[in-house]
Chain A
Amino acid sequence: MGTTQAEPAIVARDLTKRFGKVVAVDHVSLEIPRAQIYGFLGPNGSGKSTTIRMFCGLLNPASGAIRVLGHDVPRESEALRSKIGYMTQRFSLWDDLTVLENLHFIANVFTLQRSHAQRRIESTLEEYRLRELANRLAGAMSGGQRQRLALAAATLHEPEMLMLDEPTSAVDPQSRRDFWESLFALVARGTTILVSTHYMDEAERCHRLAILSQGRVVAEGEPEHLMDELPLHVVEIKTGDVEKARRALQQLPAVRSLAQLGMKLHVLVDRQVADARSAVRAALSKAGVAAEVAETRASLEDVFVAATLGEPEAAT
C-alpha cells in the first residue's frame, strides 16, 4: 500500500482554511502517531471541526499539505474512505431507519463481504449494547444510545483510523465514561483515534493533544508533559474573603490569570517571579487578607488558560 508503519497516521504541514475573510485554520502543522488517542482541545470556533473535515477530505484546504495513512488528501481521499471512520458532531445516521437497517446500509455502502458483514453487525450490536435496540428507529433513541449507534456505524468496517468530531457533546456523564472505555478498547486493537472536545477531563485522557485557539495550535504534546512544563507558577489561595484577595492580586503585574473555585482562588503567576508563593503572600498581607497560600501542580485547564492567554483577544 506504500504505507510504512513508521509513518505517523496523520502529517499536516502549514494547513490553512479560509471561509470568506475568516481564517478558520491558520498554518496548522501536526503529526498524529498511530494507535493512540490524539485530542483536539479548544473552544467553539477554534478550528477543530474544520481541521478534522480537511483530514477526511470533506473540505479542501486553501493551502498546506495533508497525509493521512500514507495518502495525500484531498487528492487521494477516495482511496482513504474504507480506511477511516468518521463520526460527525451531529447525529448523521437516518432517524427513520432502525438500528439494524442503519448498520446494514453502512455495511453495504462499504461493500463488506456478506458473511463478514453479518458477523461484524452481530459483534458491534454486542459491543455497543445495541442488541435490544436493534429494531428501534434511530430517531426514537436517547442521546447516549444514538451515540453508541454512531460509533458502531463508524467502526463497522474496522477502519485503521477514527475521526470523532465532538462525539460527547450531547451525552450524559455515564455515557461519556462508557464511550471512552470503548475508545480505549479500539486503541488496544491498534486503531488510531483523533477526537475533538471542549471537556478538560476528556482531553486529559488522550495520549497526546493539541490545544487549538483561533485556528492555530497554541500547545501540543502529552497532557502530563504539558502540565509539567507549564512555564507558569500555579498558586492556590484559601481565604475567607475571596473578593478582597482577588482585588489585591489583580494589582500584581506578574499575575497572568485568576479563577475562583468555591472558597479558593486559582492564580497563574509569571515564571520570572522566582518565588511565586512569597510574592502572593506578601501582596495579600499588604492588603490585610488572611490566607493559606500553596503552590500546586498545574492542571490541564491551567495549560489551556496559559496557552490561550497569548492570544490578542484573550489578553484584554
Chain B
Amino acid sequence: MNALVNSFRRIQAVASKEVRQLRRDRLTGGMIVGIPLFQILIFGYGINFDVRNLRAGYVDYAHTSASRALIGDLQASQVVQFVAQASGPHELRQMLAAGKISAGVYIPPDFERRRIEGDRPIAQLFVDGTEPGVEGALRGLANLPLRLRAADTTSPPRTLEVLTEYNPEHRTAVQIVPALIGVILTMTMVIFTAIALVRERERGNLELLITTPVRSAELMIGKLAPYVIVGLIQTTIVLATGVFLFDVPINGSVWQLYIGASLFIAATLSLGLLISTVARTQFQAMQLGFFTMLPSILLSGFLFPFDGMPKAAQWLAQALPLTHFNQIVRGIVLRGADLIELRQPILKLTAFLVVAVSLAALRFRKRLG
C-alpha cells in the first residue's frame, strides 16, 4: 500500500513538472490551442470535394439554338464556368495544355444530325486528368439529363436513385471536420510526446532521473498523462469549432466520442513513446513523427475512400491508429452509432495500444547503454 502511495507521488511529481515546463514554454502552449484552430479553419474552408466552377472553354461548329442551349445547360450546372471560346478543337487542346481551362466542350458541325439519330454522342468533353477530383466531377456532367433537350426521345429511365444518408447536402465540412480531430491529434500528440521524452535524454536530465527511485513505468505515465489532457482539449476545440462554425451535427453521444478519443490519444501517445525510444535527438524524433503522419493522413480514409485503395495500402492502413479512429469518430458523430456497434475499430485501436506500449517498454530501459 505504501509502495503504491509512493509510486503515485512520483508519477504526480513527474506529471506536474511536465505541466510546469509546458506552461513556461509559451510557444508550445500556443501550439496546443493554435494548431487545431488553424487546421480546422484551413481544412474546413479549404477542402471541398464538391467541385464547382471549373474553368472551361468551348468550340461550337453547329451554331444552332440547340447547341447554344447545351452550352447554357452546362453552365447552369455550376460544375463548369465557360471562360473562353476557341476557334477549333486544336486551340481547345492548347488551352487545356496551358492550364487556362480544366475542360473543353467540342460541338461538331453535324451536331443536329447526331441529335436526331441519337446513336452517337452529340458532343465531346475534353478533360484535364491531372488534377484529382476534376475528372470525376466532369464525368458526372456527362450523365446529366441534357439529352432531354438535345434529342426528342424521352429521357432514359434512371436505374438507381441515390439517397445520401447522414450528409444529404453533400457538405464536405461534415465529412472532413470529425475526421480532422484524429488528424490534428496525430500531428500534435506523436511529435509532442516524442520530443518531450527525447529532450530529457538530449539535455542529460535522463541520466539524473535514472539514478533516482523513479521507475520507468512511473516516468512514462507521469510524462504522458498531461498530454492526454492536452489531447482532450484539442478534441474539444475541433469539435466545438465544427459544431458552431461548420454546423456539423453530432448525432451520437458526446461522452462515447470522448471515450473513443481518449483511446485514440493513448494510442498516439504510445506511438510517440515508441519513437522516443528510437530517436536520439529531438530532430530525429521530429522526422520520425512526420514520417508516420503523411501515411496517416493519406491512407486512413480521411481524404480518400478506404475501400478504393489497393489491398497493400489497406493492410498498411490497418497499422495506423488514425484509420480506426476515423471509423469511430465518423460513426459516432455522423451516423449516431455507439461504441458497441463500433467495437471492431475499438478493438483494433486497443490492440495497437497494447503492442506499441509493450514495444516501448521493452526498449525503454533505465540504463544508458
Contacts and interface: CB of A to CB of B under 8 A. Distances in A.
A88 B204 CA distance: 8
A235 B343 CA distance: 87
A182 interface: no
Contacts, number: 68
Contacts of B14: 109
A94 B214 contact: no
Nearest to A95: B203
Interface stretch (B20-28, B70-78, B249-257, B268-276): B20-28
B10 to A, nearest CB: 6
Nearest to B23: A96
A53 B368 contact: yes
B204 A58 contact: no
A37 to B, nearest CB: 20
A94 B21 contact: yes
Interface residues of A, number: 29
A59 B365 CA distance: 11
B130 interface: no
Given A60-B367, A92-B204, A108-B10, A97 B211 contact: no
Given A78-B213, A82-B213, A101-B20, A109 B204 contact: no
Contacts of B159: none
A94 B25 contact: no
Contact of B10 (A56, A91, A111): A111
B243 to A, nearest CB: 36
A201 B367 CA distance: 33
B281 interface: no
A58 B211 CA distance: 7
A134 B193 CA distance: 29
A83 to B, nearest CB: 10
A109 B24 CA distance: 21
B244 to A, nearest CB: 36
B13 A108 contact: yes
A81 interface: yes
Chain A CB within 10 A, most for which of B25, B212, B213: B212
Interface in A130-150: none
Please classify how large the interface on chain B is, using the bins under 10, 10 to 19, 20 to 34, 35 or more: 20 to 34
A97 B20 contact: yes
B10 A96 contact: no
Interface in A40-97: 53, 56-60, 74, 78, 81-82, 84, 86, 88, 90-97
A105 interface: yes
Interface in A101-126: 101, 105-106, 108-111
Nearest to B22: A96
A59 B367 contact: yes
Interface residues of chain B: helix, strand, loop or mixed (majority): helix
A36 B12 CA distance: 36
Contact of A93 (B12, B208, B214, B368): B208
B368 A59 contact: yes
A216 B305 CA distance: 65
Contacts of A56: 211
A301 B213 CA distance: 39
A105 B14 CA distance: 8
A94 B17 contact: yes
B132 interface: no
B207 interface: yes
Contacts of A60: 367
Contacts of A78: 213, 215
B367 A96 contact: no
B204 A111 contact: no
A58 B210 contact: yes
Nearest to B21: A96
A81 B211 CA distance: 6
A254 B212 CA distance: 52
Contacts of B210: 58
B368 A88 contact: no
Nearest to B10: A109
A88 B208 contact: yes
A96 B13 CA distance: 15
A58 B207 contact: yes
B34 to A, nearest CB: 20
Contacts of B368: 53, 58-59
B205 interface: yes
A220 B252 CA distance: 75
Contact of A96 (B6, B24, B208, B211): B24
Interface string B331-365: 00000000000000000000000000000000000
A97 B6 CA distance: 23
Contacts of A110: 212-213
Nearest to B206: A92
Interface string B185-216: 00000000000000000011101111111110
B9 interface: yes
A92 B207 contact: yes
A6 B25 CA distance: 51
A86 B25 CA distance: 28
Nearest to A106: B212
Nearest to A104: B13
B21 A109 contact: no
B23 to A, nearest CB: 10
B308 interface: no
B204 A90 contact: yes
Contacts of A105: 13, 17
A92 B208 contact: yes
Interface of A: 19, 53, 56-60, 74, 78, 81-82, 84, 86, 88, 90-97, 101, 105-106, 108-111
What are the 3 closest A-B residue pairs judged by CB atoms, nearest first? A108-B13, A92-B208, A86-B211
Interface of B: 6, 9-10, 12-14, 17, 20-21, 24-25, 203-205, 207-215, 367-369
23 contacts: A19-B369, A58-B210, A58-B211, A58-B367, A58-B368, A78-B215, A84-B211, A88-B208, A90-B204, A90-B207, A92-B203, A92-B204, A93-B205, A94-B17, A95-B203, A97-B21, A108-B10, A108-B12, A108-B13, A109-B14, A109-B212, A109-B213, A110-B212
